Structure 1
Amino acid sequence: MADIGVDATDAGSKRSSSPDREIPIELIHPNPDQPRRSFDEEKLSDLAASIAAKGVLQPLIVRSAPGQTDRYEIVAGERRWRAAQRSGLHKIPVIVREFDDLEVLEVAIVENIQRDDLNAIEEAQGFRQLIDRFGHTQDQLSTVLGKSRSHVANLMRLLKLPDGVQDLLRNGQLSAGHARALINAEDPEALAALVVKNGLSVRETERLAKSSKAETPARPAKSKAAKDADTVALEGDLTAALGLAVQIKHENGAESGQISVKYQSLEQLDQLCALLSNGLER
């Protein structure tokens, strides 16, 4: 893995590089695997005006385009490249570094995350690329990116949402908190439309998602033998100790069974994990 836990402009400093120089802007093209897909038009116009007045103050980081002669691929700085085009620049300052595909993707993700430039879906897709294409684990990502494992896991869960809901998240009509509340809903797209239409808060969205599941007709339950008093008492003790609903399934006369713990939020899940981890360390 590349050393991606540092600023993108310093990453790969141990790799060969050429000093700052100017390259014709038409010889540079974006990285097709760039995790960032959307650019704020107003901010882009503001940056173009600044570049027209003062030039590009921070060079782009590029690499030689694979399989092409005298062509370059952007590693970091696509927004500056787009703004420079708008401002009418013919050449742009760059630093050329020899990154492999893995390093290019990692640096691009890190640069954007460190600057909070990615929306939640873009960040999640960047994580997915690192996992699917390069075999990284969520634990590795959380370490090198300086994010908690729960942050990485929660963002990647957003990719389970229908495309329509992901689009609302991309364009800012839904927050990541709203989207997380809809992941397990029966009809997330319909509920997302209601959330946007009525301007619901995250808490209101969570209640809406829960009520929609409660209104879904349940399957007929199979007949079960009544639990004995000891099992019911033990369930009560565990529920009180954990602060979460606990159910015990234990067949009469058998040695084995199952314990299930129901949580209502990701915060409760984190608390349960922390409690179990502390118990294992003792």
Structure 2
Amino acid sequence: MNEDPTKKRLGRGLAALIGEMDKPSAPATPAVRADGTVPIELVSPNPRNPRRSFGEDDLVDLAQSIREHGVVQPVVVRPVQGTDRFEIIAGERRWRASQRAGLVTIPVIVREVNDRTALELAIIENVQRADLNPVEEAAGYQQLIDEHGYTQADLGQVIGKSRSHVANTLRLLKLPNVIRDMLVDGVLSAGHARTLVTAEDPAWLAKRIVEEGLSVRQAEALAQMPASERNEAPVAKQRVPVEKDPDTRALEKLLSDVSGLNVSINHKEKGGGGEVRIHYKTLDQLDALCRRLQH
């Protein structure tokens, strides 16, 4: 079977592709000035961009940064055939924030690419930047599978993720809309949602996971219970993290610096006392710590 050269090229990651896009080329259209900027009103978002949600606070912060420092990284666009307009390939968030900042022009990199490559780049950029919520990521993968014949293995290679990650992400599309909305809003994690894919009454389980602050492991155990037993299952106690005082944090840093390992100190809420935990990754680190303690 002949390997698709486009997929092989995309497998090198977005950074390499953007690097190729930055190489000088003959001007494709007179609307691009020599300094690489175009009027911002001539740029439009890609209607097939997998990213659908843009956080309001995030856009406000980015707009303020753009007012002070300008757009540091150009938006990658492609010409819209038969017009003087451009469609965004990568960088819609920067374009939106630039509008809020009141910019009249925006720096761009203009390249001729087809619909397939534009979609691939949009998905790769958002995945590598972790800008997609789990539902948007899954929808983007499914779009490449449906429209361009990708397999899960192809997708894993292109985006730099494992095949199991791709498969588990796609499973989220089987969930009812109420749970997808919880994923989009960040109320429910992808790990929690995956435990609900084959469960009975997933919406009820999702509500209980959120209300009781269940861990993924607790959610898995609850999802595997017969429906008749779930109401009788004990309610998990939520642990509220205790903010450590400056003295404790300073002591943790001192011990970490001396030992070369990550040290955490936890005080008991009642009765005084507590514990010191030293985290090591290898047996060599543990041996070195023991030798240091002996001396």
Q: Aligned ranges for residues 164-243 of structure 1 at < 5 Å? A: 164-213=178-227, 215=229
**2:19 is equivalent to residue 5 of structure 1:** no
In 2, distance between residues paired with 1:171 and 1:86? 23
Larger RCO (CA within 8 A; separation ≥ 6): 1
Is 1:99 the counterpart of 2:113? The answer is yes
Which residue number in structure 2 is paired with residue 80 of structure 1? 94
Check whether the contact 1:173–1:196 (CA below 8 A) recurs between aligned residues: yes
**Aligned residue for 1:32?**
47
Specify whether residues 140 and 7 from structure 1 end up closer, same or farther in structure 2 by C-alpha distance, changes over 3 A only. Answer: closer
Asked whether the equivalents of residues 20 and 59 of structure 1 are also in contact (C-alpha less than 8 Å), the reply is no
Deviation at 1:213, TM superposition (A): 4.7
Aligned to 2:154: 140
- What letter matches 2:56 in structure 1? E
Q: What is the SS of the residue equivalent to 1:11?
A: helix
List gaps (5 residues or longer) in structure 1.
Answer: 217-282
What code does the residue aligned with 1:22 have?
T
For residue 33 of structure 1, give the secondary structure of its aligned residue in structure 2: coil
Helix, strand or coil: the match of 2:106? strand
2:128 counterpart of 1:114: yes
- Distance in 2 of aligned mates of 1:111 and 1:17: 25
- TM-fit CA distance, 1:114: 1.0
The alignment's TM-score, normalised by the length of structure 1, stands at: 0.72
Q: Counterparts of 1:117 and 1:139 in 2: how far apart (Å)? A: 22
**C-alpha contact (below 8 Å) 1:158/1:179 kept by paired residues:** yes
Over the matched positions of the two proteins, sequence identity in percent amounts to: 55
Q: Which amino acid aligns with 2:52?
A: R
Residue 36 of structure 2 corresponds to 21
1:35-46 aligned at under 5 Å gives the runs 35-46=50-61
1:212-267, Cα deviation, whole Å (9 max, x unpaired): 45759xxxxxxxxxxxxxxxxxxxxxxxxxxxxxxxxxxxxxxxxxxxxxxxxxxx
Contact 1:17–1:95 under 8 Å retained in 2:
no
Maintained 8 Å contact 1:44/1:83: yes
**What is residue 49 of structure 1 aligned with on the other side?**
64
